Structure 1
């Protein structure tokens, strides 16, 4: 792996592996991205934490998952929409929510992100992918 893993093999989703919602989303992406477009990195891991820091986000207190592609990182609802757009059908259709203005989408996203542990729970250990999924985890 090079010094810049975001430059290889497609976008990287950086997520909170301690969050039940975030971990469920990671497993969902792996299941519905049959083309293998996305790779995943937890913010608790070395690569995920470095990517957060690179884009000015504290990995100990993130307010968003990010989707990193090359030198660009999408955050908030834009990141979620980018993930949906990259999934297989029928999930790809959810990207149509782009028609909802960001000023409406992002506050909802931020509220859920801020309250994710209270609403969905927190794992006592980081989410562990299956052996088949592990090749897409950084």
Structure 2
């Protein structure tokens, strides 16, 4: 089974990002919306998928958010590989999660985003 990249298929911004990946980042990974993925077979929960994109490697741990994006880029057969490696470097890795969370919170305002992309606020 190839690696699997799981994203929010209900989010127009996420879908646009995946369309870019499919056009420009050659990879053997399966790219599927979490709503259509066999989450138990991937070892994922709905909550994990609501929180961030996921990258599941055969025999490896699931990676989330910017770590998932970095793994997808590192596994590509293109010039994107060095960017994937760079995302794991100290310093860059340190800021990648805050940047990812900011994008996730504001994805409905980003190019391609719609009101349906808004992430509901966390409950106290």
Give TM-score, length-normalised by structure 2: 0.71
2:99 pairs with 1:108: yes
Alignment partner of 1:73 out of 52, 59, 62:
62
Q: Which consecutive segments of 4 or more residues in structure 1 shift more than 4 A?
A: none
Which segments of 5 or more consecutive residues in structure 2 lack a partner in the other structure?
117-124
Classify the secondary structure of the residue corresponding to 1:25. Answer: helix
How much is the aligned-residue C-alpha RMSD, in angstroms? 2.8
Deviation digits for residues 39-81 of structure 1 (CA, Å, limit 9, x no counterpart): 0111222x25x2599434427x712100011352100111111
CA separation of 1:54 and 1:86: change in aligned 2, threshold 3 A: closer
Question: Quick one: distance in 2 between partners of 1:26 and 1:15?
Answer: 8
Classify the secondary structure of the residue corresponding to 2:50. Answer: coil
Give matches, 1:1-138, under 5 Å.
8=1, 10-34=2-26, 36-45=27-36, 47=37, 50-51=39-40, 54-58=43-47, 62-71=50-59, 72-95=61-84, 96-101=86-91, 102-120=93-111, 121-122=113-114
Deviation digits for residues 73-97 of structure 1 (CA, Å, limit 9, x no counterpart): 1001111111111223222221222
Q: How many residues are paired up?
A: 112
2:119 corresponds in structure 1 to none
Give TM-score, length-normalised by structure 1: 0.65
Question: Quick one: distance in 2 between partners of 1:76 and 1:52?
Answer: 20
Which segments of 5 or more consecutive residues in structure 1 lack a partner in the other structure?
1-7, 125-138
